[in-house]
Amino acid sequence: MPSLPLAEKCHQQLPDIHAKALRPAWLLSTPQLIEQRSQRLFWQGYIAPIVGPERVIGNWWEKPVARDYYLATRNDNLPLWIYFDLYQKQWFVHGVFA
């Protein structure tokens, strides 16, 4: 799954339906690591990003953070909020939509 380099600007043109900064109803207390299997994302089923990225950069809790967030669906159609950590170079599930 490709991601933009940290120094590159992120294209954040979201479709009109997502222009209101959709956020999940349930945030995980600790983001869960997503596995990569044969170029696919896997967390309790296969995941497909559908909208994004929305880049978030800052110094949270005295630690630099750079993440690209995506709206995604799991193979059972569960809508998820996932991100790619640009420093760790890993994918995480951060929330679940109601």
For Cα atoms 84, 85, 89, give the angle at the middle one, nearest 5 degrees.
Answer: 90
State residue 87 phi and psi, 5-degree precision: -85, -45
Token output for 44: 């309790």
Per-domain residue ranges of the chain: 23-96
Write down the pLDDT at residue 12.
56
Q: Tens digit of pLDDT per residue, the chain (98 long)?
A: 556 566 666 555 655 655 555 788 889 999 999 999 988 999 999 999 998 888 888 887 778 889 999 999 999 999 999 999 999 999 999 999 87
